[in-house]
Structure 1
Amino acid sequence: MSKLFSPYSLGGLTLKNRIVIAPMCQYSAEDGNAGDWHQVHLGHLLLSGAGLLMLEATAVTAEGRITHRDLSLWSDANESALQRVLTSVRRYSSMPIAIQLSHAGRKASSKVPWEGGQLIPLEQGGWTPMAPSAVPHLAGEPAPAELDQAGLERLKRAFVGAAERAHRIGIDVIELHAAHGYLLHQFLSPVSNHRTDEYGGSLVNRMRFPLEVFDAIRAAVPSSMPIGVRISGTDWVENGWDIDQSVVFSSALKDRGVAFIHVSSGGISPLQQIPLAPNYQVGLAERIRNATGLPTIAVGLVTEAKQAEDIVAEGRADLVALARAILYNPRWPWHAAASLGAQVEAPPPYWRSQPRGMSQLFGDIRIGQR
């Protein structure tokens, strides 16, 4: 039996298999609102047969958007728009849906990737990013505004408000984004956090604000709703955030009831030196899993079915997340199930698509023909 296609429980939520669709920014919202693109995009991913779909990084405030086209959940309009899309696409799939709540910090006010991704100046319609310290992401950029205590409290309330909205519209899982150089990661990393108060300096201090945000969200939604955290296991920068600190942070989250750790890496600095190769981040997930006993999600150049199967079967991670691979091939789980001799859920109108010799791919079904 395929381990990749075995069920897995995140708290009280049971996933049908260990395949997760990772959050992938679409930069296609209008004023933060989900629209027709999201209905098409999420609709076909929900027919993929994966175990869990994670919505893209979703901004908790207007100034927390990476770009002006980011999906958001700070307003009633954002909530209504996302609810409409989810109500529509969920008619055809029972796949659980997670949302990744995020604030871009000093990487906000940027152009969309296909327009270059650079910081947008104020005079061209940008806004002043906020960060733990007045340290720009790239040399030559204006410094972000350093958050004061009132700003930190406001952001905690914003994360809580977005979490409450997510619960209200039926989202199953919340993932807190503390990776890829965005705000919570900026607090964790000494590369970006130069504060001298209780939120900077020592590891305990640098972890303080992300942990406060987690605690606030955990207290605001029912205990039955799993909350996980995505982290960068390492900055890939000398004297930056690293795997040892990630283990300490994950352990602190475990004490607070975190449901899983989703392990990525990098994003804090253009000086990063990433050794790109298949499974290049899996060892980070494995280290955290072994050190803490927490459920982990591995991601990073996982493209083949046997590769994903081995990661789970060998106990290197509990789940495997796909990003670009599933954008390129939205039926990746179907093909993986076929190659591993497993079964996958598919909608009845697609049952006749099974190639000859794979009559059990979609389970024990009967198809008539007039």
Structure 2
Amino acid sequence: MTSQLFSGFALGGLDLPNRIVVSPMCQYAATDGVPGPWHHAHLGQFAMSGPGLIFVEATGVEPDGRITPGCTGLYDDATEAAFASIVSFMKSVGDSRIGIQLSHSGRKGSTVAPWEGGGAIEGSEGWVPEAPSAVPYLPGWDAPRAMDDAALARVKAAFVASAGRAVRAGFDLIEVHAAHGYLLHQFLSPITNIRTDRYGGSLENRMRYPLEVFVAVREAVPAHIPVMLRLSATDWIEGGWDMEGSVVFAKALQAAGCAAIDVTSGGLDQRQQITTGPGYQVAFAERLRRETGMPVMAVGQITDPVQAETIVATGQADLVALARGMLWDPRWTWKAALALGAEIALPAPYARCNPALAAKPFVTRS
């Protein structure tokens, strides 16, 4: 029986060789926003391993849009040149498509790396975060600065400028980050958006700014490059952002030319009550796919090849993304092909490691 997980998929104008995706994963290893040797090694290992699509981590569209001082950015010539080098390197060692996740941290910015405690930065290295409303992320934290019209226009323009840099750097796909409690998610949720202007209050108003940003990016990018969006389907908090709002938002994105929805959840507020388990977010993806007809990507404790195959084969999602599972085992894609009886192209020097997988050594892309 032919594996659906290893079948090709057309995402907008982009052909993916299979349905396996490496999810964006922050590394907190950049210098002044510039990715370096660590990122070549980190992303190159995935490029050699054959997933259909690999995402670069959440990347700030302006310096104050980063989560930590160690996060990547794409907002000047130095960051653009570094990413162009990484993309070229990835395409020289593998045949995956390469996407970037453009983000603004909002009130979750100006923090230290997770292994240093993850708290707000104290001292001159930090900055005053901006957000839809002056609602602190945690008790005891300083309130972010509520964005005025000038700030809204500046950040939207920064998303557009970063998208242009992504195209020049050679990325095949762009994802707008509106999940995990970052700026665009903060506009969507009534927990963090208490504005009284046209960007706050009703669902239509709370959706307005994220939609404006998405439309601006979509219009700035050539038609053959898909633009998709990562969405937290629910805040997991009573009275917060929920599935009903997500369905409405997804339909508006569909009308605006969104190629797919990357469906995750949570991350906005630490009061969230999440029941986790294998594939615990897949039902959110399945509902959005069923109610909109849009392609969706499922993520969240998808670790077993048969599990991933079932998600795709039963129509719950079009793509499956792995994060920590790929960190632990970058060769997951090869092992999944072996488990599912699928062919996969290996780098020629590695193809002899398992005769069952050595049928079609890949040819690198320039």
TM-score between both structures, scaled by the size of structure 2: 0.97
Matched letter for residue 94 of structure 2: S
Is residue 2:11 matched to residue 1:4? no
The one-character-per-residue Cα deviations of 1:198-250 (angstroms, maximum 9, x if unpaired) are 00000000000000001111111111110000000000001000011000000
Is residue 2:233 matched to residue 1:227? no
Equivalence for 2:251: 251
Q: Would you say the 8 A contact 2:87–2:98 is kept in 1?
A: no
| Alpha-carbon offset, residue 95 of structure 1 | 1.1
SS of equivalent residue, structure 1 residue 109: coil
The one-character-per-residue Cα deviations of 1:307-349 (angstroms, maximum 9, x if unpaired) are 0000000100000000000000000010001000001121001
Structure 1 window deviating more from structure 2 (78-87 vs 189-198): it is 78-87
SS of equivalent residue, structure 2 residue 63: coil
Give distance in 1, aligned partners of 2:313 and 2:92: 33
Equivalence for 1:352: 352
Equivalence for 2:199: 199
Aligned-CA RMSD value: 0.9
Matched letter for residue 261 of structure 2: I
Equivalence for 1:16: 17
The one-character-per-residue Cα deviations of 1:338-367 (angstroms, maximum 9, x if unpaired) are 00000112100101111xxxx3423257xx
Give distance in 1, aligned partners of 2:243 and 2:345: 36
Equivalence for 1:361: 357
Matched letter for residue 206 of structure 1: R
Matched letter for residue 353 of structure 1: C
Give % identity: 55
Give distance in 1, aligned partners of 2:118 and 2:97: 31
How many residues are aligned here?
Answer: 360
| Alpha-carbon offset, residue 88 of structure 1 | 2.4
Give distance in 2, aligned partners of 1:164 and 1:270: 34
Matched letter for residue 275 of structure 1: T
Equivalence for 1:151: 151
Q: How does 1:285-304 map to 2 (within 5 A)?
A: 285-304=285-304
Give distance in 2, aligned partners of 1:362 and 1:199: 55
Q: How does 1:1-370 map to 2 (within 5 A)?
A: 1-121=2-122, 123-354=123-354, 359-363=355-359
TM-score between both structures, scaled by the size of structure 1: 0.96
| Alpha-carbon offset, residue 56 of structure 1 | 0.3
Give distance in 2, aligned partners of 1:25 and 1:35: 14
| Alpha-carbon offset, residue 124 of structure 1 | 5.0
SS of equivalent residue, structure 1 residue 55: strand
The one-character-per-residue Cα deviations of 1:172-201 (angstroms, maximum 9, x if unpaired) are 000000000000000000010000000000
Give distance in 1, aligned partners of 2:226 and 2:81: 23
Give distance in 2, aligned partners of 1:18 and 1:89: 18
- Structure 1 residue runs without a partner (length 5+): 366-370
Matched letter for residue 81 of structure 2: S
Q: Would you say the 8 A contact 2:20–2:52 is kept in 1?
A: yes
Structure 1 103/364 Cα, relative in aligned 2: closer, same or farther at 3 Å?
closer
The one-character-per-residue Cα deviations of 1:30-57 (angstroms, maximum 9, x if unpaired) are 1000100011111111011110001100
TM superposition outliers: structure 1 runs of 4+ over 6 Å: none
SS of equivalent residue, structure 1 residue 349: coil
